[in-house]
Amino acid sequence: MTGTLSGAAAIVGIGATEFSKDSGRSELRLAAEAVTAAVADAGLTPADVDGLVSFTMDTNAEIAVARAAGLGDLKFFSRIHYGGGAACSTVQQAAMAVATGVADVVVAYRAFNERSGRRFGQVDSSVANQENSSGTDNAFSYPHGLSTPAAFVAMIAQRYMYEYGATSEDFGRIAVTARTHAANNPNAFFYGKPITLEDHQASRYIAQPLHLLDCCQESDGGVAIVVVSAERAKDLPQKPVTITAAASGSARNQFIMTSYYREQLAALPEMGLVGDQLWQQSGLSPSDMDAAILYDHFTPYTLLQLEELGFCGRGEAKDLVREPGALEVGGILPLNTHGGQLGEAYIHGMNGIAEAVRQIRGTSVNQVPDASKVIVTAGTGVPTSGLILTGDPA
């Protein structure tokens, strides 16, 4: 998305299903429920929707979702690659479609049945059978035990600890913050269930140094986001949330969670690339942000994102998170006020975009006073994406 499109589109509707561990509902039903809820929230009807954007990993065909949600003709549909890295790219694609007149009302969605259906985060031998360089790389590492997302991230986390003196407790502070916010969120799976740093440290190891509480949930649920042109948004009932910047990026020597061949191992250069684009497009800076919704599938990557996006210097995120209350409402940078994927639900980051919208609307359960500028990021360790969402101050 180039700077010339910045501010040309807005989010006017958000919708989500109940987040659970055993929904008993198909991914198609979850997607349709989320889309229907988002369209109603926008003050529109299913017949108004003429575009859909989702993830290549979503099992639902666009036409199936359209039928299930009662949508009419579709003039635009698109799918984004790279798992959670696609989250903000779906909104970017939707913004481009409405800003250029390709479609009028585009809904971005993601539905998951990953707890009672196909469980994510497990060993998946198919990735070692790909007919590309990633498959060749995985074919070597999988037999040696490097075969789950947690294990992939553990390699980076170990190096980060070695280079910068970060500790497992620093990772745990991200988890504690997420669960503190989730405890106030009735829609969060861990509503009413905060944790302490001691709880984090006592949880079992999944792949050292990652404890169980460093890892996001497996969730059933769906989330949808409605995007229209900035002009059309003025006539709809919800406060428009402007898509001020949207970017996607892949860095040199990029692999899928296993980019171990870079000169700087303890870094996420693709997120740095996305951040640079966001600041350039928006004309804003990290100090302008009222809150940050950072993709938190694993806690170490949250620290790396704080550095890549310029909220602190390289290796300094540990010092930021050690400041009491720094990441809570009223602190230096309120982080993942919905509870994140650690505390609310893991819907590939789409629920984070919805929370950024709530913050700007002023309807979050952990509301940052007068929030009008929020950065959102998508999956890390893969080609990724990001958004800066803004609104008129209250």
Q: What is the pTM of this model?
A: 0.95
* Helix 62-69, helix 27-41: angle, nearest 10: 60
User: How much is the pLDDT for 387?
Assistant: 98
| Banded pLDDT at 121 (limits 50, 70, 90) | low
Burial state string for 97-127 with b = 16 or more CB within 10 A and e = fewer than 16: bbbeeebbbbbbbbbbbbbebeebbeeeeeb
Reading the block at residue 349, the tokens are 């980051």
- Judge whether residue 204 has pLDDT over 60: yes
Angstrom distance (rounded) from CA 72 to CA 48: 8
Quick: pLDDT tens for 209-232: 999 999 999 999 999 999 999 999
Give a yes or no: residue 352 inside a domain.
no
User: How much is the pLDDT for 202?
Assistant: 98
Give a yes or no: residue 103 inside a domain.
yes
Mean pLDDT of 201-211: 97
Cα distance from N-terminal residue to C-terminal residue, the chain? 28
Coil, strand or helix: which one is 39? helix
Quick: pLDDT tens for 66-98: 999 999 999 999 999 999 999 999 999 999 999
Angstrom distance (rounded) from CA 58 to CA 28: 9
User: How much is the pLDDT for 137?
Assistant: 77
Mean pLDDT of 270-284: 98
Name the β-bridge partners of 256.
none
User: How much is the pLDDT for 4?
Assistant: 55
Residue 295 designated active-site: yes
Quick: pLDDT tens for 284-320: 999 999 999 999 999 999 999 999 999 999 999 999 9
User: pLDDT > 90: what percent of the chain?
Assistant: 84
- Please tell me which residue, 116 or 357, carries the higher pLDDT value: 357
User: How much is the pLDDT for 123?
Assistant: 66
Q: Which 8-state DSSP code applies to residue 239?
A: P
- Judge whether residue 3 has pLDDT over 60: no
- Judge whether residue 275 has pLDDT over 60: yes
Quick: pLDDT tens for 328-361: 999 999 999 999 999 999 999 999 999 999 999 9
Helix count (H) and strand count (E) of the chain? 13, 11
> Taking CA 349 as the corner, what is the angle to CA 161 and CA 135, rounded to the nearest 5 degrees?
65
Number of domains in the chain: 1
The parent domain of residue 96 ranges over 9-114+218-233
Angstrom distance (rounded) from CA 111 to CA 32: 9
- Please tell me which residue, 371 or 136, carries the higher pLDDT value: 371
How many beta carbons lie within 10 A of that of residue 263, not counting itself? 8
User: How much is the pLDDT for 138?
Assistant: 78
Give a yes or no: residue 140 inside a domain.
no
| Banded pLDDT at 115 (limits 50, 70, 90) | low
Q: For residue 305, count CB atoms less than 10 angstroms from its CB and return exposed for 0-12, middle for 13-18, buried for 19 or more.
A: buried
| Banded pLDDT at 120 (limits 50, 70, 90) | low
Give a yes or no: residue 40 inside a domain.
yes
- Judge whether residue 394 has pLDDT over 70: no
Query: What is the spatial order of strands in the sheet that 373-377 belongs to?
Result: 76-80, 51-55, 106-113, 220-229, 9-16, 241-249, 384-390, 373-377, 291-293
Mean pLDDT of 5-9: 86
> Taking CA 270 as the corner, what is the angle to CA 265 and CA 271, rounded to the nearest 5 degrees?
100
- Please tell me which residue, 10 or 263, carries the higher pLDDT value: 10
Give a yes or no: residue 205 inside a domain.
no
User: How much is the pLDDT for 38?
Assistant: 98
Reading the block at residue 204, the tokens are 């079992």
Give a yes or no: residue 24 inside a domain.
yes
CATH number at residue 44: 3.40.47.10
User: How much is the pLDDT for 325?
Assistant: 96
Mean pLDDT of 353-374: 98
- Find the catalytic residue in 142, 160, 301, 346: 346
Quick: pLDDT tens for 24-38: 889 999 999 999 999
Whether the CB-CB separation of 234 and 42 falls below 8 Å is answered with: no
User: How much is the pLDDT for 118?
Assistant: 58
Name the β-bridge partners of 79.
54
Give a yes or no: residue 307 inside a domain.
no
Q: Which residue has the tokens 């996420």?
A: 268
Give a yes or no: residue 101 inside a domain.
yes
Angstrom distance (rounded) from CA 86 to CA 350: 9
Quick: pLDDT tens for 43-66: 999 999 999 999 998 889 999 999
For 322-388, the three-class secondary structure string (H helix, E strand, C coil) is HCCCCCCCCCCCCECCCCHHHHCCCCCCHHHHHHHHHHHHCCCCCCCCCCCEEEEECCCCCCEEEEE
Contacts of 209 (CB under 8 A, 6+ apart): 154, 157, 158, 161, 168, 171
- Judge whether residue 106 has pLDDT over 60: yes
- Judge whether residue 168 has pLDDT over 80: yes
- Judge whether residue 1 has pLDDT over 60: no
Q: Which 8-state DSSP code applies to residue 63?
A: H
Residue type, 267: A
Minimum mean pLDDT range among 107-111, 128-132, 160-164, 251-255: 128-132
- Find the catalytic residue in 109, 160, 295, 301: 295
